[in-house]
């Protein structure tokens, strides 16, 4: 079993990152989480990754003059880590065309809605306030357009009449932690098969 070296990009608590780290501990899981990068120095997920013995890097976007320069630093760190797959997990930055095109087919993102519905940073709230009866989460390939790209995995949750926004968010997060490891597995199996 060839484990694909994988970088995870985060900006915050990193609960999806943790789900991926746990999944990758299985001997027959086709990814190894070898690098976690945050664009925020106080991201809680960084300490979690460090405690797991994973290499971490803080690359703060505010220290760069342009999106392109920041993305080049990200790209360099991912390359230096020998990674072939990239998972965005609560990474709150749009990535440049150069980055998304270079990592096309090797980079994936998780989003808390049933894409293509409710793109953007406030997706859970937007679905809730729109009175949707269902919401969910989606893992998709990274493309330059935000929250677009071929869908790899999706899970639905019901929004019940008495649900508060926090209830819906919690239900969606539980599903995220299931489908993200499944989607990374699918991606890495594909990458391994492409090498044969």
Catalytic center residues: 111
Task: Give the x-and-dash track for 112-151 against ligand GRF (CB under 6 A).
Answer: x------------------------x--------------
Q: What gap in Å lies between CA 143 and CA 99, rounded to an integer?
A: 9
Is residue 40 near ligand GRF by the rule CB under 6 A? no
Q: What gap in Å lies between CA 102 and CA 7, rounded to an integer?
A: 15
Q: What gap in Å lies between CA 55 and CA 50, rounded to an integer?
A: 7
Is residue 30 near ligand GRF by the rule CB under 6 A? no
Select 90 or 149, whichever has its Cβ closest to ligand GRF: 90
Classify strands 55-58 and 134-141 as parallel, antiparallel or unpaired.
unpaired
Peptide bond into 116 cis (omega under 30): yes
> Would you state the structure tokens that stand for residue 85, as one six-digit string?
């797959």
**Contacting ligand GRF (CB under 6 A), which of 4, 6, 7, 16?**
16
Are residues 99 and 74 in contact, defined by beta-carbon separation less than 8 angstroms?
yes
Least Å distance, CB 24 to ligand GRF, is 15
Count other Cβ atoms within 10 Å, centred on residue 168. Answer: 22
Select 4 or 89, whichever has its Cβ closest to ligand GRF: 89
Q: What gap in Å lies between CA 87 and CA 175, rounded to an integer?
A: 17
Least Å distance, CB 42 to ligand GRF, is 13
Choices 14-22, 31-39, 49-57, 71-79 (CB under 6 A): range interacting with ligand GRF: 14-22
Q: Which of 150, 170, 148, 168 is nearest to 158 (CA)?
A: 168
Is residue 12 near ligand GRF by the rule CB under 6 A? yes
> Position of tokens 């098969």?
193
- Tell me which residues in 43-72 interact with ligand GRF (CB under 6 A): none
Choices 52-60, 93-101, 105-113, 181-189 (CB under 6 A): range interacting with ligand GRF: 105-113
* Contacting positions for ligand GRF (CB under 6 A): 10, 12-17, 89-90, 110-112, 137, 176
């Amino acid at each position: 079993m060839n484990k694909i070296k994988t970088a995870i990009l985060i900006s915050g608590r990193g609960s999806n990152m943790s789900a991926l780290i746990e999944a990758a501990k299985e001997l027959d899981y086709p990814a190894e989480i070898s690098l976690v990068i945050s664009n925020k120095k106080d991201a809680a997920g960084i300490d979690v990754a460090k405690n797991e013995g994973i290499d971490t890097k803080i690359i703060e976007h505010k220290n760069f003059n342009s999106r392109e320069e920041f993305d080049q630093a990200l790209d360099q760190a991912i390359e230096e880590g020998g990674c072939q797959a990239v998972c965005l997990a609560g990474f709150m930055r749009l990535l440049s065309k150069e980055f998304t095109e270079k990592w096309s087919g090797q980079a994936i993102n998780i989003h808390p809605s049933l894409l293509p519905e409710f793109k953007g940073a406030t997706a859970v709230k937007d679905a809730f306030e729109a009175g949707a009866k269902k919401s969910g989460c989606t893992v998709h390939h990274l493309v330059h357009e935000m929250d677009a790209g071929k869908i790899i995995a999706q899970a639905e949750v019901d929004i019940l009449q008495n649900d508060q926004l926090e209830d819906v968010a919690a239900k969606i997060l539980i599903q995220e932690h299931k489908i993200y490891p499944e989607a990374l597995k699918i991606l890495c199996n594909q990458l391994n098969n492409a090498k044969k």
